[in-house]
Chain A
């Protein structure tokens, strides 16, 4: 009922007015004027370097796409450019590609290592014609290159050298014909039954960055990097297909052969993806923020409808917080795609103004997976989408900052200790979950490794997502939560649409906080130092220890003077200043500050009191500490935790006994 009400109201409004209507409402007639040429005629959000004009036809039966692409590239590199590299990402889905070789070796996105090869996962992209305006057909000049390895079988990057260079400030136009073969859903893209998720599907030019072409091969553990511009995409597909795309619907027209052609326009983005399925149920909603109203198109797959309100609530809540904390969301649309069952590998992915989510038919309310995925993928709209850092070389800037923001926003929306899992019998908070992720590989790689150069898939995830988030959560301890938020706000506003580097990010934090933080960044960001402090020893000894202590009369204060010792130990090689709170049974607590430079320190107190407990980091801000249990010590044991754990363990053991005994 809720869905019907919501859809009917917004569908009516949207049909009349909204430009951001997806193909979910096939009768939509709202159109936009033709897009401006790459040379801007009005104020734009980004420096538009590329203008893609793609005309594609989907063969829904064979899961192939035939398309032509006109790419206008504006040379803003400041120097003549004669050689242009292009990505052909879909060629990763071939057994001898660098991508698959790495999947076999280290795994990716939960697959492998030693993953088998199934022909249905084969995909590819073939360029049948490559022409350059004014230079003619250069198809024969196409040359596959392997900038990252020596794998001559990898065909994910090619380059073409033009007969003459493109002058600085001038533009060049490429006309490319290509044929895509989609794999059955694999690593974000492909088909499943009547569903297609089409991402990284067209020849995409590399980025001139740091005074060189940056056009890496497709790796098992890396994502993407591209220049901003405009996209005008025409899709021809069967009339029953419901389409969602990362662009505003410009037109939709039925063709005589039972197909229809839908046209989308998108600007100030660096990629264009789309999805289609006749089985989608569309839910329209909107959200209004500081930059205006955003139309939200939610495409739900069969069986998952119960999750729709959860997706929508998470999306709006996250939009609110990002708008408030980080900056405005400048686009007028957001498309949320719920992949069908069996296509979960297409889920949990971000594209400009389109994100893919994930749930299943029986997702319990206490498992906040749909909310986390929605929150996380939307967050990418800021870091991957607008700030647009290089995900090949500095994945932590996108995934890591986004994971940190995921912890902050999910905690604000769903409760600090319940933002990931919220059952009566078990709870998990987002920051705790990210910290556990970090603990899977706390010291294998620095954050700054290139995405494909991590030890393995697990280390890539643990470090890029978990450790970066934990590093930033710990940074709050040093500069304060407000400064941290302000730093992200400044970083976003300053560098959106700019492709900043890690150094830009770190400098922004230092600038906003007014602190030199190199000591921290050297260890946490570019180093692999391990942070682990422990209370090594706590004991109280009577000063006059050789004399027998008189028994304390009942109700009287103990007048014995004790020499109390508390010893702290830095177990890891990460030097981090910490506070320690020492509590006494008959005296006020003491807070000491230790710079952590030595391996250990011992505090001594002579009091008419004994130490009750000592705790390093009593405010619990040093999330990077790999073992929080040894950060404190109580003289009197508290056995409640072990009793609870042993209760559960005992019950499970006895239950298992009964199950086995049933066989007899």
Chain B
């Protein structure tokens, strides 16, 4: 059984390393979109900053927030509009990742190097399924959102009644852990549904979710631990990166800061793919070791020939 195999965690990392081209491509795309999101700000702020003797002492040698406020206060407000651009490009990235997930999971599940054509075909093949899953995911988050609003109300009530602020703070921390746990479990549930959709070529996403829920219930410990460990690593790297950036790098550093910032993003992408690879591997091993009758009828329509040819 997969949960009995302690190497899934490391094997997932090896899988990401083996098909690291995926990480690099996604990273490059993220950087390109991020650069576009940044370009408008640069275009508008550059004429103000590049030729002013105020820029270096206020923004380079230290980071004086009043300089940022003053920049925002300029007649053409260089920092105002570009914020929206950031949102737009993030949505583009999100849609791309929704699109790419099919190809990524096929590559990881089969542990084969896909051709570019095959990769994108797999992406397209699974896109609408995953889009439906995204909608279900939004629905699945509703109870957590309701819980969050209840937590907020209870937090306010405790804060209102309590002489010390600490009981409400402790409650908030405890509630945050619970909400975080629910978010992770929900994500894991949908992650596994995506893996099942790819592995079993399942077209009905509700059925994929049902199977995924069953798997999660039966193997909760191993799946949760698999996901959580990698998340923890991602957050530790993120925290360390931000700490080094803000506390250890000299304020004048731009190249090192750029490299550090991008390494953090790269690690974030890498760890997310590590989760996906581990989940795919876990499921493959689960299928290989489990002697169980098919839980459902195969999908009536065969996979497109192009996909099968390309991916085999």
Residue ranges of A at the interface with B (Cβ–Cβ < 8 Å): 193-194, 279, 302-303, 340-342, 360-362, 417, 421, 423-429, 432-433, 435-436, 439, 613, 615, 626-635, 637-664
- Pairs across A and B, CB under 8 Å, 14 listed: A193-B160, A303-B166, A615-B53, A629-B49, A629-B70, A632-B54, A634-B51, A644-B60, A649-B42, A653-B37, A657-B34, A658-B269, A660-B90, A664-B97
A664-B130 CB under 8 A given contacts A629-B52, A638-B55: yes
A sample of 10 more A-B contacts (CB under 8 A), given A424-B246, A644-B257, A651-B262, is: A426-B63, A439-B73, A627-B70, A634-B51, A640-B252, A646-B41, A650-B31, A651-B261, A653-B37, A656-B86
Which residue among A341, A630, A645 has the maximum number of chain B CB atoms within 10 Å of its CB?
A: A645
Interchain CB contact under 8 A, A629 and B246: no
| In the bound complex, CA of A194 to CA of B163 (Å) | 8
Chain B residues contacting A426 (CB-CB under 8 Å) are 63-65
Residue of B nearest to A664 (CB): B98
Q: Which residues of A contact B144 (CB under 8 A)?
A: none
Instruction: Kindly state whether residue B50 has any CB partner on chain A within 8 Å.
Output: yes
By a CB distance below 8 angstroms, the chain B residues around A644 are 59-60, 63, 251, 254, 257
B42 and A642 form a contact (CB under 8 A): yes
Choose from B86, B166, B258, B272 the contact partner of A361 (Cβ within 8 Å): B166
Would you call B101 an interface residue if the criterion is a C-beta within 8 Å of the partner chain's C-beta atoms? yes
Contact B34 A653 (CB under 8 A): yes
What 4 A-B pairs come out closest when comparing CB atoms?
Answer: A432-B66, A641-B55, A425-B246, A632-B53
Given the complex, which residues of B lie within 8 Å of A662, measured CB to CB?
A: 187, 272
Given contacts A628-B54, A651-B261, A655-B265, are A645 and B94 in contact (CB under 8 A)? Answer: no
**Closest beta carbon of chain B to A369's beta carbon, Å:** 14
Which B residues touch A428, using CB under 8 A? 64-66
- Give the most central of A340, A362, A421, A627: most B CB within 10 Å: A627
Q: Which of B70, B93, B160, B251 contacts A657 (CB 8 A)?
A: B93
| Docked complex Cα distance between A503 and B163 (Å) | 48
Complex: A629 Cα to B70 Cα, angstroms: 9
Q: How many whole Å from B184's CB to the nearest CB in chain A?
A: 11
Cβ–Cβ < 8 Å partners of B252 in chain A:
640
Q: Which range holds the interface residue count of chain B?
A: 35 or more
* Separation of A432 and B101 alpha carbons in the complex (Å): 48
Which of B34, B53, B247, B261 has the most chain A CB atoms inside 10 A of its CB? B53
> Using a CB-CB cutoff of 8 Å, which residues 134-190 of chain B contact chain A?
134, 137, 159-161, 163-166, 169, 187
Q: For the complex, give the distance between the alpha carbons of A233 and B66 in Å.
A: 46
Chain B positions within 8 Å of A439 at CB level: 69-70, 73
Q: B264 within 8 Å of A by Cβ?
A: yes
B265 & A433 in contact (Cβ 8 Å cutoff)? no
User: Which residues in chain B, 251-289, are within 8 Å of chain A measured between CB atoms?
Assistant: 251-252, 254, 257-258, 261-262, 264-265, 268-269, 272
Distance (Å) between the CB of B259 and the closest chain A CB? 10
Whole-angstrom distance from the CB of A246 to the nearest CB of chain B? 24
In the complex the two chains form, is A653's CB within 8 Å of B94's CB? Answer: no
- Kindly list chain A residues whose C-beta atoms are within 8 Å of the C-beta of B164: 279, 302-303, 341
Known: A433-B66, A644-B254. A342 touches B93 (CB 8 A): no
Complex interface: chain B residues within 8 A of A643 (CB): 254, 258
Given contacts A279-B163, A303-B166, contact A663 B33 (CB under 8 A): no
Residues of B within 8 A of A648 (CB): 261
What is the distance, in angstroms, from B265's C-beta to the closest C-beta of chain A?
5
Minimum distance in angstroms from B81 CB to a CB of chain A: 13
Residues of B within 8 A of A193 (CB): 160-161, 163
Which residues of chain B from 88 to 137 have a CB within 8 Å of any chain A CB?
A: 89-91, 93-94, 97-98, 101, 130, 134, 137
Q: Kindly state the separation between the CA atoms of A262 and B265 in the bound complex, as whole angstroms.
A: 63
- With the chains together, A659 CA to B30 CA distance in Å? 12
- Taking a contact as CB atoms closer than 8 A, the residue among B35, B56, B65, B247 that contacts A638 in the complex is B56
Interface residues of B (CB under 8 A from A): 30-31, 33-35, 37-38, 41-42, 45-46, 48-56, 58-60, 62-66, 69-71, 73-74, 82, 86-87, 89-91, 93-94, 97-98, 101, 130, 134, 137, 159-161, 163-166, 169, 187, 245-247, 251-252, 254, 257-258, 261-262, 264-265, 268-269, 272
The complex places the Cα of A361 from the Cα of B170 at a distance, in Å, of 12
C-alpha spacing A303/B168, complex, angstroms? 11
| A633 CB contact (under 8 Å) in B35, B52, B60, B73 | B52
Give the interface SS of chain B, mostly helix, strand, loop or mixed.
Answer: helix
In the bound complex, do residue A657 and residue B54 qualify as a contact, i.e. CB atoms below 8 Å apart?
Answer: no
Query: Count of A-B contacts with CB under 8 A?
Result: 206
Residues on A with beta carbons closer than 8 Å to the beta carbon of B246: 423-425
- Cα of A268 to Cα of B31 in the assembled complex, Å: 67
Q: Are A342 and B160 in contact (CB under 8 A)?
A: yes
Do B163 and A417 have beta carbons less than 8 Å apart?
Answer: no
* A427-B64 in contact given A650-B35, A652-B86, A653-B89 (Cβ < 8 Å): yes
Docked Cα-Cα span, A130 to B193, in Å, equals: 79
Known: A194-B163, A663-B134. A653 touches B86 (CB 8 A): yes
> In the docked arrangement, what's the CA distance between A615 and B54, Å?
10
B30 touches A657 (CB 8 A): yes
Residues from chain B with Cβ under 8 Å of A653 in the complex: 33-34, 37-38, 86, 89-90
Residues of A within 8 A of B257 (CB): 644, 647
- The chain B residue with its CB closest to the CB of A436 is B69
CA distance in complex: A643, B259 (Å): 12
Contacts of A651 in B (CB 8 A): 34, 261-262, 264-265
Q: Which residue on A lies nearest to B168, using beta carbons?
A: A341
A621 to B: closest C-beta gap in Å: 14
* A658 lies within 8 A of B265 (CB): yes
Tell whether, in the assembled complex, residue A660 and residue B166 are in contact, meaning their CB atoms are under 8 Å apart: no
Smallest beta-carbon distance B279→chain A, Å: 14
Kindly provide the distance from the CB of A299 to the nearest chain B CB, expressed in whole angstroms: 14
Closest Cβ of chain B to A307, distance in Å, is 12
Q: Closest chain B residue to A631 by CB distance? A: B54
A640 near B254: Cβ-Cβ < 8 Å: yes
What's the nearest-Cβ distance from chain B to residue A613, in Å?
A: 6
Residues of A contacting B137 with CB < 8 Å? 663
Are A640 and B60 neighbours in the complex by a CB distance under 8 Å? yes
CA distance A648 to B251 in the complex (A): 12
Hey, which chain B residues are within 8 Å of A664, CB to CB?
A: 94, 97-98, 101, 130, 134
A641-B49, A649-B82 known; A628 and B70 CB under 8 Å? yes
In the assembled complex, which residues on chain A have CB atoms less than 8 Å from the CB atom of B161?
Answer: 193
Min Cβ gap A4→B in Å is: 19
Q: In this complex, which of A439, A641, A643, A659 has the most chain B Cβ atoms within 10 angstroms of its Cβ?
A: A641
Interchain CA distance A556-B14 in the complex, whole Å: 61
In the complex, the answer to whether A657 meets B90 with C-beta atoms within 8 Å is yes
A647 and B134 in contact (CB under 8 A), knowing A342-B159, A436-B69, A615-B53? no
A661-B93 contact in complex given A432-B64, A641-B55, A641-B56, C-beta closer than 8 Å: yes
Q: Is the CB of B258 within 8 A of A640?
A: no
Complex Cα–Cα for A585 and B70 (A): 30
